[in-house]
Amino acid sequence: MRIDGKGQIDRTQPINFTFDGHRYQGFAGDTLASALLANDIRLMGRSFKYHRPRGVLTAGSEEPNALVTTGLGPAQEPNVRATTLELHEGLIARSQNRWPSLGWDVMAVNDLAAPFLGAGFYYKTFMWPRKFWETVYEPIIRRAAGLGALSGDAPSEKYERAWAHCDLLVIGAGPAGLMAAQVAAEAGADVIIVDEDTHPGGRLKSEQLEVDGIPGAQWATDLADDLAAMSNVRIMVRTTVTGAYDGGTYGALERLAPDQAARPGAPCECFWRIVTKRCILAAGAMERPVAFQNNDRPGIMMASAVRSYLNRWGVAAGRNVAVFGNTDDAHRTAADLIAAGIHVSALIDARHHATTDLDVPFYAGAQVCNAEGRKGLEAITISRASGMDKVQTECLAMSGGWNPAVHLTCHMNGRPVWNPDIAAFVPTDGAIPGMITAGACRGDFSTRACLESGATAAAEVLVELGLKAPQIDIPKAEDSTYDITPLWAVPGKGRAWLDFQNDVTVKDVKQAATENFRSVEHMKRYTTQGMATDQGKSSNVAALAVLADATGRGIPETGTTTFRPPYVPVAIAAMGSGAQGKGFAPERFMTSHVATVERNAPMVEAGLWYRPSYFPQKGETHWRQSCDREVNMVRGAVGVADVSTLGKIDIQGPDAAMLLDLVYTNRMSTLNVGHVRYGLMLREDGHVMDDGTCARMGQAHYLLTTTTAAAGQVMRHLEFVHQCLVPHLDVRIMSVTEQWAQFAIAGPKSRTLLDDLLGAENPELPFMGCGRVALGDISARLFRISFSGEHGYELAVPARYGDALFRDLLTRAEALDGGPYGMEALNVLRIEKGFITHAEIHGRITAGDIGMARMISAKKDCIGKAAAARPGLIEDGREQLVGLTPVGAVKELTSGAHLFNQGDDAVRSHDQGYITSVGFSPTFGCFLGLGFLRDGLDRHGEVVRMVDHLRGVETLVKVQDPVQFDPDGGHTRD
């Protein structure tokens, strides 16, 4: 089916591929669809519901029929559009949604049962008997659902994510997009041009049109080469913009060329986030089909697609072709076919006033009302005023007009408007902030109009960017008018198809209206129209026109469905690239990790970080031995722990204090420079979000610490408050957790260690003081704070010095009979002191529950203050934080156990509370715990019953104050 002298493929580079196990050959530049057509393969798929034979319909990403599965094993990828799949050596493709073969599909029996499987049949059929749903109906539906399938193996492909920034993003590299890019680039703007095709040019690559006296495809190539040579222009082909989002951000999916993707380690796709100041949408338009009886037969294609396969890929869609349309595009298609020596059996124009100079059988004011053939078109029936004519043909090129590609303009709730002049919807101005439209996607359908529209759009954008538009002559090009007589569906018997992939007919849409599903969104869901992988690109407008006619409303009143991202299907692996293996749960290592592992410390995960559980020494055979030693070491000498995992958030600006007063329950604006204050944050619902410290490093400079687990949550909260609640505040927020390595130095000899390290530079910090210190030429930060209840400090240095400082601190600590301590000891130390972590502030706790109600300042407002005062959060009987010690025969406490009054059965209705944290305290020689007990603050000294149903542990426990060690704070402040 190749036509000599036609096409832009490289016939010197043959490419071998297989389809359904049969070997074929194409050429470099082919798509799978063009190569199959060249090999006279018209049957390429089966429809979703009825399994009807389907062939290729379009030549672009809007293709609903020709979906294939590529690759084998882990590389298997389903639902790939054959129209955009570039041919490459060794390509393995298979048809899908059929068994046992494409030519003979058992499930095609559904087509015989079509009268019982109309619109909404599942709502009416699978309702009774009720018990059949889980045992019969659902398993059958699940087996029948879907098109292609994944292999089930772990994927082997690599994906990437990337960011890009520019002054102007031009979406579409057709004549409008290229013209807009040229004007903007010559004005000095940073421009990114994105196009989903393999080469710039848009429809110019598929037409026999001239621009400035040369073939349009050549003009586009020359201009694209000139733009690519400019330092301020980036052209991204094989890249589809999939969504428009806030802040001038656009998602885009880039496919690598087959030869590049075949390189070892190369990604197959990259998902881009492009941030731009302004955007010009020049996405073009998509031709729509006409619904008539059996209009889904293989061989019935869009007229524009027939021209594309002919002019771009040198492939005849049929040996004899009939053309049917309601615009001049039908005549253009017939002319191109005749010029290529292909027999045109009929030219049918639905417009009564149409005429032609072409030497073909011409039918004006006529319509195709039926198609014959099963696995391939054989004949069509033409209805005209004088009667019916049958014409033998193996291909029908149909055109119902053009729909501007308005989808991206609707991604932020914009609605297109109806333009009766072109019988199509066009974008609404300002639907996407910073975006304007140009070319065919705004209804300018001639080449000249597209060029002018692109230049005008660029000039408008340049004014907004503060740049001066250059004077550029608009190239000469065809400027024909667009003449259309709307035609959505041809009356007649039999099924006329609207949505080819989901098997939705004109009758289905009318049935939806009859059953009162008159809203376009309700019709969509009732019939499944527009819910396939093409998202209704070829069917939406015709379907709503049929709905409008069925309900007696106009098309503008009927409206459109809601277009949402993504514009084309995007693999989840592309959006989540890097989230496989370790990327799914990243391993975050502290700067002390190597030194810690060298000491044989077992590592445990803590908020994605790996932290040491304990540091075993020679002769210790159980972790408790190490833990007890480390606790005694901190209490009696000095211990060093890496606390770099705590969230560190730097806040600067004249209004930093105002922001902190709003997010903290207590006042931070009164904090003196060089001091630290403990703080509590509430969620908007009044529950505790996190606790931590706030250090005032300068008059307009604060440093916050958060718990390890809530570092990201607090950062998001601060950004939300600033951007949404108080955007007028002059303040900047930045996470610096990874920039600083921070170490706790705790114990009665901690001051001695720091004197040895800092010498005369060691400042006399008061408790909760902070300041800058120097370690030689290294600027560091010192805080006198403690999470152990001992005299303690935290010393922070830039992260690159973390490993060296940790090793140095351990050497000095060991000389003072101290050393490192891990998470187990840290947990015991904080339980002894009654300090909380997210084991206690787990999302259901208020400030009153943890005994910190007085920290909610009465002199100012804060996030969550009003909600925290709701009766349900301050009423009697709430579970409050208490300390616990076992006094029964069993001397063990278990985390997660529940508390009951003595004598009550251990059942839910008698539940009095639960234990959150436990640890054996070598300081007190027994287990200590923290937990929540109903009215716990008033029950100190009471004995209650602990029951752990899961572990089978039961004992009596004494309720006491959470602070067991040094309740007066003398050790900490000394």
Q: Which two tokens stand for residue 641?
A: 């722990």
CATH architecture entry for 289-400: 3-Layer(bba) Sandwich (3.50)
- Kindly indicate whether the domain formed by 487-558 is annotated with CATH number 1.10.10.1100: yes
Residue from 300, 435, 454, 302 nearest 378 by CA: 300
Contact 3, 316 (CB under 8 A): yes
pLDDT of residue 559: 84
What DSSP string runs through 309-378? HHHTT-B-S-SEEEEEESSTHHHHHHHHHHHTT-EEEEEEES-TT----SSS-EEET-EEEEEE-SSS--
958-974: b (≥16 Cβ within 10 Å) or e: bbbebbbbbeeeebbee
Q: Which fold has domain 159-285+404-465?
A: FAD/NAD(P)-binding domain (3.50.50)
* Confidence band of 461 (pLDDT split at 50, 70, 90): very high
Q: What is the arithmetic mean of pLDDT over 147-170? A: 89
Strand partners, 883: 930, 960
Query: Given the DSSP bridges, would you call strands 343-349 and 362-364 parallel, antiparallel or unpaired?
Result: parallel
Percent of the chain with pLDDT over 90: 82
Q: For 377-407, give the secondary structure using H, E and C.
A: CCEEEEEECCEEEEEECCEEEEECCEEECCH
Residue 140 predicted with pLDDT over 80: no
pLDDT of residue 144: 65
Q: What is the arithmetic mean of pLDDT over 891-897? A: 96
Q: Which fold has domain 647-737?
A: Alpha-Beta Plaits (3.30.70)
Region for 299 from its dihedrals, namely left if φ exceeds 0, alpha if ψ lies in -120 to 50, beta otherwise: left
pLDDT of residue 138: 75
Contact 188, 181 (CB under 8 A): no
CA-CA distances (angstroms) from residue 503 to 121, 124, 533, 568? 13, 18, 13, 20
pLDDT of residue 529: 87
- Judged on CB neighbours under 10 Å (0-12, 13-18, 19+), 909 is exposed
Give me the numbers of helices (H) and strands (E) for the chain, helices first please.
26, 50
pLDDT of residue 535: 84
pLDDT of residue 100: 93
The residue type found at 406 is V
Lookup result for tokens 């351990």:
810
User: Distance from CA of residue 515 to its chain's centroid?
Assistant: 37
Q: What is the arithmetic mean of pLDDT over 365-390? A: 94
pLDDT of residue 790: 94
Helix axis angle for 303-311 and 329-339, nearest 10°, is 30
What is this structure's pTM?
Answer: 0.78
- Kindly indicate whether the domain formed by 10-121 is annotated with CATH number 3.90.550.10: no
Residue 145 predicted with pLDDT over 70: no
- CA pair distance 632, 832, nearest whole angstrom: 12
Residue 879 predicted with pLDDT over 90: yes
Residue 326 predicted with pLDDT over 80: yes
Residue 391 predicted with pLDDT over 90: yes
* Confidence band of 761 (pLDDT split at 50, 70, 90): confident
- CA pair distance 249, 273, nearest whole angstrom: 6
Under DSSP, the state recorded for 925 is T
Give the pLDDT confidence of 720-753 residue by residue, as tens digits.
999 999 999 999 999 999 999 999 999 999 999 9
Contact 591, 799 (CB under 8 A): yes
Domains 159-285+404-465 and 289-400 share a fold: yes
CA-CA distances (angstroms) from residue 543 to 208, 426, 516, 558, 647? 32, 17, 16, 11, 54
In the chain, domain spans? 10-121, 159-285+404-465, 289-400, 487-558, 647-737, 876-974
Give the pLDDT confidence of 240-269 residue by residue, as tens digits.
999 999 999 999 999 999 888 888 888 889
Residue 128 predicted with pLDDT over 80: no
Contact 180, 456 (CB under 8 A): no
Give the pLDDT confidence of 922-950 residue by residue, as tens digits.
999 999 999 999 999 999 999 999 999 99
- Lowest mean pLDDT, pick from 144-153, 586-595, 905-914: 144-153
Give the pLDDT confidence of 529-543 residue by residue, as tens digits.
888 888 889 899 999
Q: Which two tokens stand for residue 211?
A: 């621009």
* Confidence band of 454 (pLDDT split at 50, 70, 90): very high
End-to-end CA gap in the chain: 93
Give the pLDDT confidence of 64-82 residue by residue, as tens digits.
999 999 999 888 999 999 9
Coil, strand or helix: which one is 304?
A: helix
Q: Which fold has domain 876-974?
A: Elongation Factor Tu (Ef-tu); domain 3 (2.40.30)
Residue from 840, 826, 838 nearest 788 by CA: 826
Give the pLDDT confidence of 781-827 residue by residue, as tens digits.
999 999 999 999 999 999 999 999 999 999 999 999 999 999 999 99
Sign of CA dihedral 876, 879, 885, 891: positive
Under DSSP, the state recorded for 257 is P
The mean of the pLDDT values for the chain is 93
Coil, strand or helix: which one is 566?
A: coil
Residue 150 predicted with pLDDT over 90: no
